[in-house]
Structure 1
Amino acid sequence: MQSVLHLVSGDESEQETTLTIAKNLLEDESGDIDDVAVVAQAGGIEAITSDGGFTEEVESLAENGASFKACANTLEMEGIDESELLGNAETVPEGAVEVTRLENEGYAYMRP
């Protein structure tokens, strides 16, 4: 199974919940989870930047197999440089399009 978490909220508690869910999915002992992707856009992009307050969590998730995808439109609108992204985040042209693409590939969609 594959899961995509859509990180769009600027609310810190929602960001923390999203990252915790990603961690729980990766730590699932059933062995059913093959991939966890976190797509960040809008206010959620802050959580995966060096100024976002979740550096340790994001880096740990990346080390444990989560992939992070950052919306290029959001980065441009917010004036955030790609060098500020954590977790070896890949920049994608548009976050919602990436979520849709992953869903079409069989990823289960989650938005805490």
Structure 2
Amino acid sequence: MRSVVHLSSGDEAEQETALAVAENMLADESDSIDEVAVVAQSGGIEAVTADGEYADRVRSLLDDGVPFKGCANTLETASLDESDLVDGVETVPEGAVEVTRLQNDGYAYLRP
């Protein structure tokens, strides 16, 4: 199974939950999870900024093979640059389109 976690809220509790979901899925011992991806947009982009509260957790998940994708539209709206993101976070033109693409590719959609 493959899952995409949609990180779209600026709420810290939701950001915490989204990252915990990704971590828990990786730790699942049933071997039923093949891949977990995280798409950050809107207020959720803050969770993947290099100076953000969750930067170390994002780096750890990236090191464990979880792809993170940040919405370029959100970056522009928030006056952020790609260099403001944790190294390894890939930018995509539109977060919602990326979530839809991943769903079309067989990823289950999760939004805490």
Using the size of structure 1 for normalisation, the TM-score is 0.97
> Cα distance, 1:87 vs. partner?
5.0
Residue 4 in structure 1 maps to residue 7 in structure 2:
no
Gaps of 5+ in 1: none
Q: Tell whether the 8 Å contact from 1:38 to 1:69 is kept in structure 2 after alignment.
A: yes
Equivalent in the alignment of 1:105: 105
> Cα distance, 1:106 vs. partner?
0.2
Tell me the secondary structure at the aligned position of residue 4 of structure 2.
strand
Residue 21 in structure 1 maps to residue 21 in structure 2:
yes
Distance 2:48 2:85 in 1: 6
Distance 2:46 2:37 in 1: 16
Equivalent in the alignment of 1:92: 92
Count of residue pairs the alignment pairs up: 112
Distance 2:63 2:14 in 1: 22
Equivalent in the alignment of 1:81: 81
Distance 2:6 2:87 in 1: 16
> Cα distance, 1:71 vs. partner?
0.3
Letter in 2 for 1:105: D
Tell me the secondary structure at the aligned position of residue 108 of structure 1.
strand
The share of aligned pairs that are identical, in percent, is: 64
> Cα distance, 1:86 vs. partner?
1.4
RMSD: 0.8
